[in-house]
Amino acid sequence: MKENLEISTLQQQILDDCMQYLYEHEDPQLVIKTFSKHKDSVYDAFGLTEEEQREMLLMVLDDYGLTVPEMADMGTIFVATQKYELQLLAVQLLKKHRPRMDRHCYEQVKIWLDDGLENIAIVDLLANKITPVFLELGIASVDDFKSWRSSESKWTRRVGILTMLYLKDKVSSDMLLEFAEPLLNDPEKIVQQAVGTYLMELWGFYSEAVEEFLTLHKDNAAPLVIQNATQKMHWDKKKRYGKAATSRSSGGSRNYDRRQKSRGRTSKNRSQSAQRDSQAGKQQRSFRSNRSASRTQQRFTPKPKPRPNVRVREADRAKYHNIPDWDSFEDEK
């Protein structure tokens, strides 16, 4: 924890109670088991189960009666500990009170990202559950989030671009694409992944605009951005954007043009071919012997079933991530 971080008596008591709970319920084996899920992230954990994490959350909510701004301040202290469960608790406290968040919460969340959060699971939870609400409630504007693109923290830049997905069906494609442009060649992998995912999601709504944007920037954008952005596209369309789009490392469609070259026939191949020809001849003779019985039967070719007279745009076939319904703040956790 930072030495210059001021902590009140109440905040120290809450922190001590949470630390005591963590030590009483720690499970190193669970930490080892879940460690692989947190690659490319800082994962300093005690090993709580989901039920134990929920119990600690309810303990803080029920025992201390914090206001929402006080929860944001307490979250700053939790984030500074660098402990996974406490950082998750910071997000969960606000997640329970999203309709009552204010500008102070927005400012504290940015501090969390700039100075403390380094776990991709928690960062993406913020991007999906917290920061879009700042836009919905008018607490922050698009211009506010534009400053996040130039943050020294790669986590802040990642959340900034992912937050804009909340607006994907609410503002123009020009505004959304302009927001992504400064991050197209970001040096950090986790930011490149986020930008590519962002463009892939926008393609489902504005396919022509996104394709023109990718054509314009295919040479100066990071290859990983192009890979992720074109994941849902057909192979023929991917080829327009160069090797980065058609690389199999993108996790997208299979490269169907990459076929194994035929090799010269060896003696083994010739013997196998001869065996196949012999078997085929036997089958043909057997078929001819039974042919007279079937000649009288009229051949029937089933007609293809008519397809519904509905046109489906290619972009509509893309599978999108589940975006939370921001009109309802009810949450099971």
158 neighbors 145 (Cβ within 8 angstroms): no
Q: Span 264-287, mean pLDDT?
A: 55
108 neighbors 76 (Cβ within 8 angstroms): yes
Q: Span 315-326, mean pLDDT?
A: 36
More confident residue, 51 or 303: 51
Q: Span 32-46, mean pLDDT?
A: 82
Using pLDDT thresholds of 50, 70 and 90, give the confidence band for residue 15.
very high
**What pLDDT does residue 322 have?**
36
Q: What is the largest CA-CA distance in the chain?
A: 99
Whether the pLDDT of residue 58 is over 80: the answer is yes
199 neighbors 234 (Cβ within 8 angstroms): no
**What pLDDT does residue 254 have?**
37
**What pLDDT does residue 116 have?**
83
State CA 329 to chain mean position distance.
22
Of the candidate ranges 9-13, 153-157, 203-207, 315-319, the one whose mean pLDDT is the lowest:
315-319
Of the candidate ranges 5-19, 148-162, 276-290, 303-317, the one whose mean pLDDT is the lowest:
303-317
Using pLDDT thresholds of 50, 70 and 90, give the confidence band for residue 278.
low
Whether the pLDDT of residue 109 is over 60: the answer is yes
The DSSP output letter for 196 is H
Q: Residue 23 to residues 52, 79, 116, 254: CA-CA distances in angstroms?
A: 12, 18, 22, 47
Q: Span 223-240, mean pLDDT?
A: 91
**What pLDDT does residue 318 have?**
36
Q: Is the pTM of this model over 0.85?
A: no
Collect contacts of 57-63 with beta carbons under 8 A, ≥24 apart. 57/89, 57/92, 57/93, 57/96, 59/17, 59/18, 59/21, 60/14, 60/17, 60/18, 60/89, 60/93, 61/93, 61/96, 63/17
Whether the pLDDT of residue 90 is over 60: the answer is yes
Q: Span 318-329, mean pLDDT?
A: 37
What angle (nearest 5°) sits at the alpha carbon of residue 89, between those of residues 83 and 95? 145
How many other CB atoms are found less than 10 A from the CB of residue 69?
15
Q: Would you say the C-alpha torsion 151, 154, 158, 161 has a positive or negative sign?
A: positive
153 neighbors 190 (Cβ within 8 angstroms): no
Using pLDDT thresholds of 50, 70 and 90, give the confidence band for residue 169.
very high
Whether the pLDDT of residue 298 is over 80: the answer is no
Helix 103-115 × helix 68-80 angle, to 10°: 0
Q: Which amino acid would we find at residue 166?
A: Y
- Distance (Å, whole) CA 288 – CA 269: 29
Using pLDDT thresholds of 50, 70 and 90, give the confidence band for residue 79.
very high
**What pLDDT does residue 147 have?**
97
Q: Span 89-111, mean pLDDT?
A: 97
**What pLDDT does residue 106 have?**
98
Using pLDDT thresholds of 50, 70 and 90, give the confidence band for residue 34.
confident
Which of 45, 46, 104, 115 has the alpha carbon at shortest distance from 77?
115
Q: End-to-end CA distance of the chain: give it in Å, rounded.
A: 27
More confident residue, 38 or 272: 38
Those residues with Cβ within 8 angstroms of residue 204's Cβ, 6 or more apart along the chain or in another chain: 232, 315, 316, 318, 320
The overall average pLDDT reported for the chain is 81
As a whole-number percent, the residues of the chain with pLDDT over 70 amount to 73
Phi, psi angles (nearest 5°) of residue 265: -75, 130
Look up residue 16 and give its two tokens.
């001590």
- Distance (Å, whole) CA 15 – CA 177: 42
Q: Span 152-159, mean pLDDT?
A: 98
Q: Span 71-100, mean pLDDT?
A: 96
Using pLDDT thresholds of 50, 70 and 90, give the confidence band for residue 252.
very low
